[in-house]
Amino acid sequence: MKRIFSTSKSPVAVDFWLLFLRVFGGAFMITHGLPKMEKLMAGGEISFYDPFGFGDTFALALAVFAEVICASLLIIGLLTRPAAIFLVITMAVAAFMAHAGDPFGKKEMSLLYLLIYVTVLVTGAGRFSIDYLISGKK
């Protein structure tokens, strides 16, 4: 019964959870980024939400960078915190600007991704990552 109410945590379990969160949070995001990348590469007229006035094409390119490149870096655990920053910004823009006037159900997925990426930003990649190997910690 004591284990049920225990507040202690296993460092290995935390590192496995961070690995799980990175891999699935990144892989799921790539599924949103690939159609945007196809749209960008198609070369046709682009209509995309532009929150900062840089132009639709540049805004789409930034979203593709975050959702494909940064999500891939997250999966392998390389440059995890910088990649997470771009993903946090992208999801914050999606939730609070692009879907600002929409009902909660429309912005819910962006908010869930935002929570995942803020968690990774705060905690780092964990032991099972390239960042950890590069750091030389044991």
Q: Is residue 90 part of a domain?
A: yes
Number of compact structural domains in the chain = 1
Closest CA to 87 of 119, 48, 130: 119
Find the DSSP H helices in the chain: 11-42, 56-64, 71-76, 80-93, 104-123, 130-135
What was the pLDDT predicted at 104?
A: 95
- pLDDT tens, position by position, 48-90: 999 889 999 999 999 999 999 999 999 999 999 999 999 999 9
Asked whether residue 76 is domain-assigned, the answer is yes
Is residue 3 in some structural domain? no
What is the reported pLDDT for 138?
Answer: 65
Confidence of residue 15 (pLDDT cuts 50, 70, 90): very high
Evaluate whether residue 20 is within a structural domain.
yes
- The closest alpha carbon to 90, from 57, 122, 52, 123, belongs to 52
| 65 located within any domain | yes
Asked whether residue 72 is domain-assigned, the answer is yes
Question: Cα separation of 60 and 37, whole Å?
Answer: 8
| Contact between residue 99 and residue 110 where contact means Cβ atoms under 8 Å apart | yes
The reply to whether 4 falls in a domain is no
| Residue 67: inside a domain | yes
Whole domain around residue 92: which residue ranges? 11-135
